[in-house]
Amino acid sequence: MSVPHRSPGQDQWPSSETPHALSGACRLTRRPDKLLASHRNIDVHSFCGASVGIRCHPVYVAQSYPAFPAPAPVQSHEVTPVTRRDLFDFLRDEAEPWWGRLDDISFLDHLYDLDSLPSTDRRHATAREDIGRHRLANDDWDDAWVFTDPRFQLADGPDQVLLDFLAYMAHPVVQPDTGKAMALVTRLNSLLSPDGWELRATGFISGRPVYAAVRIPGGPGRMIRLEIDDGDLGKLDLVLGQACQILGDGGHALAQGLITAATLTLRPDGGYYHPTPGDNWTESSSEAVLTVDPRITAEFTDEVRDRIWQVLRTVLVHHGRDDVVSLAIEPTTPALPALTADWRAGAARVLEQPVGNQPGSSAPTAGIPARTASCSPAARSLPSTGSSRTSSGSPPCRTRSPCCRCPGPGSATLACAPRTSS
């Protein structure tokens, strides 16, 4: 069923000349050539291109209204059921009554032809009558009744029906407090924007904005605002993914590649990391930290770092974390080895092994016999006999033995003991 539907800026039908009072029910759309009339004697095509006023007998022709920027197609269904559910949850649980300073009938009468919609109560013929009974007289319908009433198609109808309903909630006639209207629009936009829509001011009445739905750049697919705490690693990973995508779209392939394998965390400062007075840091300020592979830290030049921070800052502010005021690049901590209870005994055994057999030691240098001297524990305790060094900078072999392998740099205090042949 097509819902008789007016846009928020459209004039009210005159009380004495509403469509149900005419000879034949008619349903209005925005163009006279698309006028739907059940009366067979009415030639709706005769109105095409004609100059008419706001009313024209025997049918009523709606007054034209300036087109909104990029209005929603009449049959578009881009606002998903998930978004509609979230909208209704917000309007039901957090927002002020959707009808504002009006009542249900006055509000809905601006958007729908209540006298053409049927009644759900067999005692009444029209939607106007049963709403009057159950909302104004008996008050036995809950405040959120309209969201699930199929006659008004808010839950599953065309986008324009829902968007006009939401825009009218912020209209000065419904919500005279401009501050509250703007706060409502901001919250509604946070839910609508992932589906490619926002409410924006398209005009003014008595200095107060009038809103309409417009398409936004990028269309459907934008992420909703997340509530991110410092320890929300899963959400921070989504933030990093968004920054990575933006960097790629902007052609910054190096910066995009560098943060692909990084980990993002937020670190509260409290004056510890940035104690300098006058640097715009406060006790509530935080720092974004990118933990990266130590082998690529040198790739984060000032230019690359500033590019990453510019994008990352934008994403964090979108999610409400404007307290994050700087970016730090830090290398990852090497993985700590697993230990057993007798790790000391194991370490002693390693120290007693010949140099070439110790884990991590290099192979014998070319020209050095395989059976070389080893540094025994006793030899390590020998006092140094001098401070002279070889031309290579290494301490000389104290034993002067031809079968001794002289220690390299970093082992200046060790003495070599000749290995006896077997």
Instruction: Give me the DSSP letters along 259-292.
Output: HHT-EEEEEE-TTSS---TTSS--TT-EEEEEEE
Domain final position from 331, 357, 384: 331
Which phi and psi angles does 100 have, rounded to 5°?
Answer: 60, -130
CA atoms of 400 and 380, how far apart (whole Å): 16
Does residue 136 form part of some domain? Answer: yes
DSSP state of 399: S
Burial of 360 from C-beta contacts in 10 A (0-12 / 13-18 / 19+): exposed
340 belongs to a structural domain: no
Tens-digit pLDDT string for the chain (422 aa) = 555 565 554 444 433 333 333 333 333 333 333 333 333 333 333 333 333 333 333 333 233 333 334 444 557 888 999 999 999 999 999 999 999 999 999 999 999 999 999 999 889 999 999 999 999 998 899 999 999 999 999 999 999 999 999 999 999 999 999 999 999 999 999 899 888 899 999 999 999 999 999 988 765 556 667 888 888 889 999 999 989 988 988 899 999 999 998 999 998 865 455 556 666 667 778 889 999 999 999 999 999 999 999 999 999 988 889 889 889 999 998 888 888 888 888 888 888 877 665 555 555 444 444 444 444 444 444 444 444 444 444 444 444 444 444 444 444 444 444 444 43
Residue 290 has a pLDDT of 94
Q: DSSP string of 20-33?
A: GGSSS-EE--SSGG
| One domain for residues 159 and 237 | no
Same domain, 184 and 143: yes
Instruction: Let me know whether 105 and 139 are in one domain.
Output: yes
Same domain, 179 and 277: no
How many independent structural domains does the chain possess? 2
- 336 in any annotated domain: no
- What pLDDT, on a 0 to 100 scale, did the predictor assign at position 135? 93
Domain assignment present for 223 = no
pTM: 0.49
Q: How far apart are CA 129 and CA 147, in angstroms?
A: 18
Q: Cα separations (Å) of 99 from 104, 107, 134, 144, 165? A: 6, 6, 15, 11, 10
Angle between helices 178-192 and 81-93 (to 10 degrees): 150
Task: Look up the domain containing 162 and give its range.
Answer: 81-215
pLDDT at 349: 84
The distance from CA 152 to its chain's CA centroid, rounded to whole angstroms, is 31
Q: Are residues 170 and 136 in the same domain?
A: yes
In a domain, 72, yes or no: no
| Same domain for 209 and 237 | no
Q: What is the pLDDT of residues 319-352, one digit of tens each?
A: 889 889 889 999 998 888 888 888 888 888 888 8
Type of residue numbered 329 = I
Would you state the pLDDT for residue 354? 76
| Cβ within 8 Å of residue 47, ≥6 positions away | 32, 33, 35, 56, 61
17 contact partners, CB below 8 Å, separation of at least 6 = 55, 60
Q: Distance (Å, rounded) from C-alpha 415 to C-alpha 396?
A: 9
Q: Are residues 96 and 138 in the same domain?
A: yes
Parallel, antiparallel, or unpaired for β 286-292 and 324-331? parallel
Strands 197-205 and 286-292: unpaired
CA 409 to CA 406: how far, in whole Å?
Answer: 10
Q: What is the CA radius of gyration of the chain?
A: 39
Same domain membership, residue 259 and residue 199: no
Residue at 21 is within a domain: no
- Which pLDDT score is estimated for 35? 31
* DSSP label at residue 213: E
User: Is it true that the peptide bond before 58 is cis, omega within 30 degrees of 0?
Assistant: yes
Tokens 């929300």, located at residue: 232
Say yes or no: 186 and 268 in one domain.
no
Q: Give me the pLDDT at residue 212, please.
A: 95
Give yes or no: residues 99 and 125 share one domain: yes
Residue 52 falls inside a structural domain: no
Domain finish residue from 314, 331, 348:
331
Report d(CA 22, CA 28) in Å as an integer: 13
One domain, residues 137 and 173:
yes
Of 331, 366, 399, the one marking the end of a domain is 331
- Reduced to 3 states (helix: H, G, I; strand: E, B; else coil), residue 19 is helix
Q: What is the pLDDT of residue 334?
A: 82
Q: Is residue 381 situated within a structural domain?
A: no
pLDDT tens per residue across span 40-85: 333 333 333 333 333 333 333 233 333 334 444 557 888 999 999 9
User: Are residues 239 and 285 part of one domain?
Assistant: yes
